[in-house]
Amino acid sequence: MNAWLHEIGEKVEARWRGWAEPLGFGGAMLITLASMPGHRPLPSMAQWPRLAAQASVQALPIVWVVNALVGAIMAFVGAVQLQKFGAGLYVADLVGISVCREMAALITAVVMSGRTAAAFAAELATMRTQEEIDALHVLGLDPMRELVVPRVLVLLGMMPLLFFHACVAALLGGLIVASLMLDLNANTYLQRLMVATSSVHLWLGLAKAIVFGAWIAMAGCYAGLHAARSAAGVGEAATRAVVRGIVGVIALDAVFAVIANAMGW
């Protein structure tokens, strides 16, 4: 009986640590970020262009392709259903609201979780395996300050740009399907978009993109800095980063939905 209770207690403790440690990691990152303006020198600037390109220009093709396909699929499904009621014109409303409010930020975040979070985790896990993280400690440098904060700030800055590109790609995908299936011209489609899509939808989608970007970067960095010191640990860290990134993004999206409903948005 005592052994059974002891085993349960160990599992509960391990589960609690699994949730508490990432929260502590996020708190440490915020403390480090808040203390940066008053301390010099700032983190090395040599890595910033590479990180910015990795999280923006290099990610644009896949973001455009995936979001254009999502917009086309949504327009196709909407057109099939709305045509039954003679309301095919409103496919533009469906695509515009769902893309700007929900799908552009969510799909982009999922893509970045599978791409950028995994890359961050693999890079930091490799540095940990090669004892480069330990070398930073020996030199008196904080890995949180030198490695985590730049990646979080870069993804925070790039996600809004990726979000707007995702919106344009998805709306163009919807326009192509609407013009082929419903004979809607571009002017009619754009007019319906202007009527149906308000600034609230765009601001809500933008807020989601920013929060998702912060979560994705922290998930990747946390997985990399806590990876096992082996080749297998690098792959496991990348896998954990992707899983935590996607699950966290969906959970945050649910929180946004509850808040938006409570605020009447």
Are 105 and 208 in contact, with CB atoms under 8 Å apart?
yes
What is the spatial distance between Cα 193 and Cα 176, in angstroms, rounded to a whole number? 14
Would you state the pLDDT for residue 165?
Answer: 93
At 55-64, the pLDDT tens digits run: 888 888 999 9
Would you state the pLDDT for residue 6?
Answer: 61
Would you state the pLDDT for residue 62?
Answer: 92
Would you state the pLDDT for residue 236?
Answer: 87
What is the spatial distance between Cα 249 and Cα 229, in angstroms, rounded to a whole number? 28
At 218-233, the pLDDT tens digits run: 888 888 888 888 888 8
pTM of the model: 0.84
Average pLDDT over residues 38-45: 59
What is the spatial distance between Cα 36 and Cα 243, in angstroms, rounded to a whole number? 30
Contacts of 156 (CB under 8 A, 6+ apart): 210, 213, 214, 217
- Report percent pLDDT > 90 for the chain: 18
43 cis-preceded (ω within 30 degrees of 0) = no
Would you state the pLDDT for residue 198?
Answer: 82
Which of 70-74, 166-170, 179-183 comes out lowest in average pLDDT? 179-183
Average pLDDT over residues 115-136: 86
Average pLDDT over residues 86-96: 80
- Report percent pLDDT > 70 for the chain: 86
For residue 164, give the nearest of 238, 67, 33, 28 by alpha carbon.
67
Q: What's the mean per-residue pLDDT of the chain?
A: 82
Would you state the pLDDT for residue 5?
Answer: 64
Packed helices 199-225 and 231-263: angle between N→C axes, nearest 10 degrees? 150
pLDDT above 80 (res 20): no
Which of 162 and 86 is assigned the larger pLDDT? Answer: 162
pLDDT above 90 (res 65): yes
Would you state the pLDDT for residue 107?
Answer: 93
Contacts of 99 (CB under 8 A, 6+ apart): 67, 70, 71, 74, 166, 167, 170, 171, 174
